[in-house]
Chains A and B, each alone.
Chain A
């Protein structure tokens, strides 16, 4: 059951984007193993505040693994070592007494650091703006059951749609590629009849936007899949590639 552990934390401190940044060491004691990783950081921040030091800035919100706000590198792994887990869902029972934990922000050219562990992921919004939607105005939708979707396809679309846009895939990728993120959205819509009319434009637009935003390309390291807290599979990248090739050769949009 619950026990207490002590840890050495090496946390990246950077006061603003222009600051060079550095690791600082902190020792924390009496960390309950029932705490979440972010609750452990809360404890650190309470201590820092009372000691007159600035607390560590980190993004977080729902703390139940669905909003996609949180995420740092923990010992070199996006969201830490546990499979299929966001940082907020990682609990301290997975660490041992006396462990040293290295905590640093997601690093990618397209995700500039704002402060400490907080990065700017607005590039993901720009990619969605380039086609990550179905063009239907409010009020113009047909009766929902006029459109049949085989449950198998709906399930596969849902697997892809589970992406929370945290950016862990980008941070894990040696090329800082956003292919897993882009492929999840492209796949969701490619698998549904509603998404087909705009499929070509979507694949071309989102890939172009990904390049413009400064993300790298995919060279099959599969690190993204391994670190994805929602376990989005790289089969989606294969589907994106097919959609992209089809669109490039056979579509009037290319």
Chain B
């Protein structure tokens, strides 16, 4: 099968306009004849549900939490980018596009990224109209700040909780459509499979997490807005319920998985402190605007930070990258922190941490100013670590945060499975091998508010649909498979808990498919994952029954999928014999230890096709063609 990204013809700036003109429209009176399923209610899912319902489609929306307002987009702290150029500092749609392509180490599709930059301004307009309390200047105009990896101020923010405010905005728009009767909302539901009939995605099978009932839902199209798979590492900044199940099961039904090894390790998280730890907490990288990252110059220096004089500190990011300093992109910052710790210069009890110091900023701007910008983050740090960052430097270490890989989609955001659309972090499309700060919120809302309302119309108007209801044989088949898997999990009755397996899987991936990778380690990880998976199915202990509120059973299903998916990540990492962005293979680095791309052989998207249980997946390639930017070695010196 040849991957066709369906990129519209025409010059880059006009592609989206031409596309919208040429796309077939659905007559307003006919929209109510179409049912659309949306899985997930983060920024992408909530904004898509609301926007499609406003257009007149019948929308059924599902979320795993008790309320759609709790999706993990809510935890995004720093901000959202747009090319408004309000500060008059040289921004433009083309510059936002270029920065995103370059930040992604030239592994994203030009046309999609350009469209993202084009619609970024409309997102801000929409959010302001919804009543989102963005930060303002004295005159009442919107305020901007600079944010990790950008040399200009294009980030809009609502204190350190921008994701929360944007999500609550999208959620309120969704609730408005629920009240209007255009969205049927199903909370506490987990999608366990996609139903494919006549080659089209025509519905889903879900488990009611309260009653345990298995339910069938039919539609004309299905949108997966189910986020990323960072929890494959067990410890990550993701919420506990984040998982790969929806996208992985779609993969097993024919949707290709693209670039699964592209994971983002975020530089500024609170370090791991114990084996019982259940998750890691991000400290927004906006902190790097004012905080200075340093370690002691001498390895093994265990003095408290206040007793290490200025002359014995190494501000290694400022030293190595004078023009970007502490604001280098996330992958660069993370790798450098790891490098310092590997040299024995790490701080704290574990030696796996570096300092993020605000002393200079507090002296320069005053404590009040720092408190206004970062008060809630400092408080959060204090609560978790028991230390006051106004008095002593924060300790930070990189942690898994975001996954650039995801289901492969074309320009329409449709996967290789007809009628299955994938939005937000769940798709692979816009961030290449590394995502820039404040770009995830932009992409989630772009997909939901700005892109899908157009592209889905083109699909619906241009497709023929047979009558497929929940009594169709495909639903019965799919439901049987779902029930079988649940029974299988419950019937093992082994000796190890689900979390125990999950932790072990996480460590394998963190050690061998984390911040830096090598072929021997990846090969080893593959074997270890296979062995662990085999043990899981012989020795997992899932208490309770299927017809109950059973959180252990929920986790077991997700970990079962992670155990298969983890191997796919490793396979992808082995196939990509270059370094780019978050994928750093030690064999491919410059003399200065930066990622060395191989554009001659790997300037492509790797898309994996499921070939059957126990078989290696089939590899497909979407070559990336750059007509508007020059491929260069990223340099932040």
State the A residues within 8 Å of B (CB).
1-2, 15-16, 32, 34-36, 38-39, 42-43, 46, 49-50, 52-55, 57, 59-69, 84-85, 89, 91, 93, 114-115, 118, 120-122, 124-125, 128-130, 132-145, 147-151, 154-155, 157-158, 161-162, 164-165, 188-189, 192, 194-195
Which residue of chain B lies nearest to A32 when distances are taken between CB atoms in the complex? B274
Residue from A55, A61, A140, A157 within 8 A of B72 (CB atoms): A61
Question: Which B residues from 156 to 178 make CB contacts under 8 A with A?
Answer: 158-159, 161, 164-165, 168, 171-173, 175-176, 178
**A138 and B50 within 8 A (CB):** yes
Residue from A42, A139, A192 within 8 A of B133 (CB atoms): A192
Residue from B54, B168, B552 within 8 A of A55 (CB atoms): B552
Which residue of chain A lies nearest to B139 when distances are taken between CB atoms in the complex? A148
State the B residues within 8 Å of A (CB).
47, 50-51, 54, 65-72, 74-75, 84, 86, 122, 124-142, 158-159, 161, 164-165, 168, 171-173, 175-176, 178-179, 185, 187, 210, 237, 239-241, 273-274, 276-279, 281-282, 349, 379-380, 383-384, 386, 449, 453, 495, 497, 499-500, 541, 543-544, 548-549, 551-552
Which residue of chain A lies nearest to B129 when distances are taken between CB atoms in the complex? A141
Which residue of chain A lies nearest to B130 when distances are taken between CB atoms in the complex? A134
Contacts of A122 in B (CB 8 A): 66-67, 187
- Cα distance, A136 to B240, chains bound together (Å): 33
The verdict on A135 contacting B176 (CB below 8 Å), with A91-B384, A154-B134, A161-B133 known, is yes
What's the count of A-B pairs with C-beta under 8 Å? 220
**A61 and B276 within 8 A (CB):** no
Contacts of B69 in A (CB 8 A): 68, 125, 128, 165
**A145 and B131 within 8 A (CB):** no
- Cα distance, A153 to B198, chains bound together (Å): 55
- Cα distance, A99 to B536, chains bound together (Å): 37
Contacts of A140 in B (CB 8 A): 129
Report the minimal beta-carbon distance from A108 to chain B, rounded to whole angstroms.
15
Q: Among A115, A133, A134, which residue has the most Cβ atoms of chain B within 10 A? A: A133
The verdict on A114 contacting B210 (CB below 8 Å), with A60-B240, A129-B179, A143-B125 known, is yes
Which residue of chain B lies nearest to A65 when distances are taken between CB atoms in the complex? B380
**B173 and A133 within 8 A (CB):** yes
Contacts of A145 in B (CB 8 A): 84, 86, 141-142
- Cα distance, A2 to B281, chains bound together (Å): 19
**B72 and A67 within 8 A (CB):** yes
**A63 and B50 within 8 A (CB):** no
Report the minimal beta-carbon distance from A196 to chain B, rounded to whole angstroms.
10
- Cα distance, A69 to B164, chains bound together (Å): 13
Residue from A57, A142, A150, A194 within 8 A of B131 (CB atoms): A194
Contacts of B47 in A (CB 8 A): 138
Q: Among A38, A52, A145, A189, which residue has the most Cβ atoms of chain B within 10 A? A: A145
Contacts of A15 in B (CB 8 A): 548
**B133 and A158 within 8 A (CB):** yes
Q: Among B72, B176, B349, B544, which residue has the most Cβ atoms of chain A within 10 A? A: B176
Which residue of chain B lies nearest to A163 when distances are taken between CB atoms in the complex? B168
The verdict on A136 contacting B72 (CB below 8 Å), with A46-B497, A46-B499 known, is no
Residue from B173, B282, B380, B386 within 8 A of A138 (CB atoms): B173
The verdict on A39 contacting B131 (CB below 8 Å), with A133-B173, A145-B142 known, is no
A-B contact pairs, 22 of them (CB 8 A): A32-B274, A32-B276, A34-B386, A36-B278, A49-B552, A61-B70, A61-B239, A64-B281, A84-B379, A125-B175, A133-B172, A138-B449, A141-B129, A144-B127, A149-B133, A149-B136, A150-B140, A151-B135, A151-B136, A151-B140, A155-B133, A165-B70
